[in-house]
Amino acid sequence: MSLNQDFIREASALLGQEQFFVSEPMSKHTTFNIGGPADYLLFPANMEQLSQIFVLLKNYDIPHTILGNGSNVLVLDKGIRGAVIKMHAPMSYKRCEGNRIIAGAGAYLKHVSQFAAENGLTGMEFACGIPGSLGGAVFMNAGAYDGDMSGIVVQVKTVTHNGKILTYEKDELDFGYRHSVFQHNGQAICEITLELASGDKEAIQAKIDDFTQRRESKQPLEMPSAGSTFKRPQGYFAGTLIDETGLKGLQVGGAQISTKHAGFVVNSGNATAADVLKLIKEVQDRVYAKNGVKLFPEVRIIGEQ
């Protein structure tokens, strides 16, 4: 797709230079440090502006992809055609109302979890080390240790392709294992209300510290990755299966099965998305041949190969 100069002019005027980029490498915006360029990258400042962006994209017939912190995606090497809308810093507000926290989709989970602790609210400690945005966590129903987002989200505000703002209540979110209704409707998650319980500040902080320590000792946090590469197959752990198949350290180009945690593919330096895809296929084939278990990626693969 060639770049549309009229769109560029209108989008620059709407967003300003700090929040609008053209031909932007997605390797700079994903925790894998992998990914070709997006034609356009936009950082909306608020829900109303996002709504205007959608109307503009529709007028120019430009497709869009929504991204949070890019911590659960593999962007392919030719990048993403059309617009990537990244819910980031401008939409990272948060406030506390009784036992509820209301926050923008761009807020880091880590910050919201810490904010809950500071306000003496318990229930979100599980999320303290997940390096995503709140919106991405709702989309994925992210979880760890003793909880996931389905246990704490009570309301979600979204913007549709037509620029309409909608409100979803808890029973409309269709949460399941790493699943939510938003995986099927393409809407942009903008604002989330969480319901937590009041608790003892010191006990909450101690739990966060314990989860952080456990994560740091087990996961290859010092290397670029997108977290667990595969979903947990029923009755197994992907990392254990991969380890037992003898694949720790297996490398294709710059992509490697972490030597610290076999559930993670890491970028050991200059990995391409093609390297990661080849490694994923190799692991799937060898684990299936040894154990008869099929592994499916948890990482969402987007863009052009």
**Residue ranges binding ligand FAD (CB under 6 A):** 31, 66-73, 87, 105, 130-133, 135-137, 139-140, 142-144, 182, 188-189, 219, 221, 225-227, 300
The CA distance from 130 to 107, in Å, is 12
Three-state SS at 44: coil
Given the residues 24, 125, 191, 298, select the one marked as catalytic: 298
Nearer to ligand FAD, 161 or 290 (CB): 161
Q: Beta-carbon neighbour count of residue 136 at 10 Å? A: 27
Cα three-residue angle 63-64-68, rounded to 5 degrees = 170
* SS3 state of residue 129: coil
Catalytic residue, from 12, 81, 100, 178: name it.
178
Parallel, antiparallel or unpaired: strands 300-302 and 73-75: parallel
* Contact present, 153 and 138 (Cβ < 8 Å): yes
Catalytic residue among 51, 71, 150, 228: 228
Q: Is residue 298 annotated as part of the catalytic site, yes or no?
A: yes
Residues pairing with 300 in the sheet:
73
Distance of closest approach, residue 96 Cβ to ligand FAD, in angstroms: 21
Exposed/middle/buried for residue 303 (C-beta within 10 Å: 0-12, 13-18, 19+): buried
Tokens matching residue 199: 């608790």
In the bound state with ligand FAD, the residue whose beta carbon lies nearer, of 210 and 285, is 210
- Quote the least distance from Cβ 143 to ligand FAD, whole Å: 5
List alpha helices for 196-260, DSSP H: 201-218, 238-244
**Residue 178 falls in the annotated catalytic set:** yes
Q: Shortest distance, CB of residue 5 to ligand FAD, whole angstroms?
A: 27
Give strand ranges (E) for 229-283. 251-252, 255-257, 264-267
Give whichever of 120 and 192 is closer to ligand FAD, judged by the CB atom: 192
232 an active-site residue? no
Separation of alpha carbons 68 and 103, rounded Å: 14
Q: Which residues are catalytic?
A: 178, 228, 298
